[in-house]
Amino acid sequence: MKQTDINHSEYHGRVNPNSMLGAALVILACIFIFYLVPQYIEVSGMVKNPMMSPRFLPLLAGWMVLLCSLILLVNGLLWPPKHTEAEAFHAGIPKLRWVLMLAAGAVYTMLFEQLGAITSGVIATFMLFLAHHLRHFSIYLLALLFPVVVSLLFIYLLNVPLPAGMLWE
Amino acid sequence: MENFSEVLSIFLSVDNFIAIAAGVLIGVVVGAIPGLTATMAVALALPFTFSMEPVTAILLLVGIYKGGMYGGSITAILIRTPGSPASACTLLDGYPLAQQGHAKKALKAALYSSCVADVISNVALIFFAAYLAKIALNFGPPEYFWLICFSLTIIISISGDSIVKGLIAAGLGIIVSNIGLDAVYGSQRLTFDNYNLMDRISFVPLLIGLFAIPEIIEFYTSKVVPHVRSAVSGASLTLAECKRSLKSVIRGSLIGVIIGAIPGTGATAAAFISYSEAKRNSPNKHNFGKGEVEGVAAAEAGNNGVAGATLIPLLSLGIPGDVITAIILGAFMIHGLTPGPVLFQENLSLVYALFCGILLSSVVLLVVGNAAIRYFSLIADIPKAILLPIVLMFCVYGAYAVNNSTFDIGLMMVFGLLGFVFNRTGIAAAPFLIGFILGPMFEDNLRRTLLISKGDPLVFFRGPIAWFFIALTVASLLFAVRRYWKSRKVPATA
């Protein structure tokens, strides 16, 4: 009896991730097939054979995604996945940790040219070290050292012109 | 003779030797750090190859591939955490040996069997790739169309736990590969009038985003795991143990070669088949799973025997056998080369220079592997909290290096998020990459066939080679589905 209860709680009252994923993908696939393809893929008047059309492969892939998403949706409803250890592993993460990670990503994505490769590298690396509560001061020196070394490696050894940033120009 | 001197002139360059040594070293180091994979290392190294000669670039990537295969076994043996799925089999005997205080013995057995298997695999590559390429010269667009269809069946093998999710990922990869100007009609496809998207999605930001960024996001959105320290101790491998394992190593290498030459089968399967065959034939079969040197050697021979052989379909037919060879295929294209029979026709010296380098990489693996055993504790003890911010910096600089554009950094982040969503929802990223690479090839050969036949679809079914590939595609599909159902039944019944 006890065993049955445990198994029941493993399934009951939980949002089914496969069904949610399937439903989201069904919506996205429908938008793709019925809106994006007709609106954003031009077909030249020269195209006689539909298999030669620029829309053929995107539509084929779109229908495949739609069909598989429907299967996923139905499959998820019929056989809900169990609660996994991985879910517990991801629960209860300090907010500051992933906020700093996002901020570091934003520095690289939005300020890379403005700040330059070295400065953005130093700021982002510093943020990520901070996100993990690294305590040794010497480790933070690495946040200064590595962006300089890696930038010089790219610029002088690989001939990749990384941006210097507005501060230094 | 003239060709021979040309091959030597291409191969005998300091850059090539440095590339092989650096590649193997990076591969071993990355493979030895749990959570970092050889695929990630190859993806990250790709931007570094832009300014290199094609042979140097490919040798660097192949070196990382081979080093990564061995590196994965180090953590499997020492801390029971395989660096790659292919090394999972190695821990069955490797970890018990380490627990008994024979870590050094296990690591040496893994290294020597990896090197022997690698040499055997490379020799197979050299002998078979040219023959296969010669046959492939008779292929026309319909035959290539079916060959691509056959290659697409590997999606099932690399889909992980769910074929349906694998097909969704492949479909999304094909859709993303269609963004840009149409190659035949020049019409815009899903560019949204953004000039950055006109020339298709860049391969490198997609690759780095899909395989490196999710690891970083995953680390910062998961609970902190205490860092596990490792130790290399005990006596080394004896000659008697080497002799005892030799049969299993050679058998495992041959299994690896056969499995590696078939697209999509993979090193993990080769390692487990080699291990089970060794167990079945060994006089010490009772000791397997409890710390048997022969078990470690057989598993490693199986997974390293695959490395050279996966390059056979890549070089001779231009189709990738797994994710890493798909990345190497991308590297060929970035350097203006198309693997396949034409490569053998037009760049034979380059191909043979590559073969020389690949052979040399086995020797380098032996040297670097020995050093890694000695200094491994230092390498593996770098905590991820320090390592991953630096990896992210490499990712950003590498993505920027493609077109000197911050758009590519944004693109990399978008694909990184997509890869993270894939991880969390149990969708494998590898089918996405295969769809992205094979999608345009599929479309190109379909259109060329229809153009030649003036729209007659019957042309797809003419000729014995086309039928051979149709049969192969159907057989591969049936085999993969059967294997998938079998693998799902095992945990259900266990």
pLDDT-derived band at B261 (thresholds 50, 70, 90) equals confident
A93 interfacial to chain B (CB closer than 8 Å)? yes
Interface test with B, best of A32, A79, A158 (most B CBs within 10 A): A158
What's the Rg (C-alpha) of chain B? 22
The residue type of A78 is L
Per 3-state DSSP, chain A is made up of helix, strand and coil in percentages (nearest 5) of 75, 0, 25
Residue B381, pLDDT > 50, answer: yes
Q: In whole angstroms, give the CA distance from residue B355 to residue B349.
A: 10
Residue A9, pLDDT > 70, answer: no
pLDDT-derived band at B13 (thresholds 50, 70, 90) equals confident
Q: In whole angstroms, give the CA distance from residue B86 to residue A90.
A: 26
User: Hey, where are the domains in chain A?
Assistant: 2-89, 95-157
For residue range B278-327, what is the model confidence (pLDDT) as tens digits?
888 888 878 888 888 999 999 999 888 888 888 888 888 888 877 788 88
Chain B positions in Cβ-Cβ contact with residue A90 (cut-off 8 Å): 221-223
User: From B49, which residue of chain A is nearest by alpha-carbon distance?
Assistant: A158
For residue range B113-157, what is the model confidence (pLDDT) as tens digits?
999 999 999 999 888 888 888 788 778 888 888 888 887 887 776
Interface test with A, best of B223, B393, B421, B458 (most A CBs within 10 A): B393
A151 interfacial to chain B (CB closer than 8 Å)? yes
B491 interfacial to chain A (CB closer than 8 Å)? no
Tell which residue, B246, B334, B356, has the closest CA to residue B293: B246
For residue range B62-112, what is the model confidence (pLDDT) as tens digits?
999 888 888 878 877 876 666 676 777 888 888 888 878 888 888 889 999
Asked if A128's CB is within 8 angstroms of B443's CB, the reply is no
Residue B215 backbone dihedrals phi, psi, to 5 degrees:
-60, -40
DSSP output for B301-322? HHHHHHHHHTHHHHHHHS--SS
Asked if A154's CB is within 8 angstroms of B401's CB, the reply is yes
pLDDT value at residue B83: 66
Asked if A75's CB is within 8 angstroms of B389's CB, the reply is no
User: From A69, which residue of chain B is nearest by alpha-carbon distance?
Assistant: B168
User: From A102, which residue of chain B is nearest by alpha-carbon distance?
Assistant: B217
Out of A25, A98, A134, closest to residue B168 by CB: A25
Of the listed ranges A145-159, B183-197, B367-381, the least confidently predicted one is B367-381
Residue A135, pLDDT > 80, answer: no
Q: Which residues of B261-294 are buried (b: 16+ CB within 10 A; e: fewer)?
A: bbbbbbbbbbbbbbbbbbbeebeeeebbeebbbb
Higher-pLDDT residue of A66, B387: A66
Q: Which residue has the tokens 């020389």?
A: B356
User: Hey, where are the domains in chain B?
Assistant: 2-493
Chain B positions in Cβ-Cβ contact with residue A149 (cut-off 8 Å): none
Higher-pLDDT residue of B238, A69: A69
Residue A3, pLDDT > 70, answer: no
pLDDT value at residue B411: 93
pLDDT value at residue B378: 63
For residues A145-155, average pLDDT? 86
Count contacts between A and B (CB, < 8 Å): 174
A143 interfacial to chain B (CB closer than 8 Å)? yes
For residue range B160-181, what is the model confidence (pLDDT) as tens digits?
778 889 999 999 999 999 999 8
- Report which listed range, A15-24, A121-130, B122-131, B365-374, is most confident: A121-130
B51 interfacial to chain A (CB closer than 8 Å)? yes
pLDDT value at residue B231: 61
Alpha helices in B404-429 (DSSP H): 406-425
User: From B51, which residue of chain A is nearest by alpha-carbon distance?
Assistant: A158
B455 interfacial to chain A (CB closer than 8 Å)? yes
Asked if A44's CB is within 8 angstroms of B185's CB, the reply is yes
- Report which listed range, A128-137, B348-357, B481-490, is most confident: B348-357
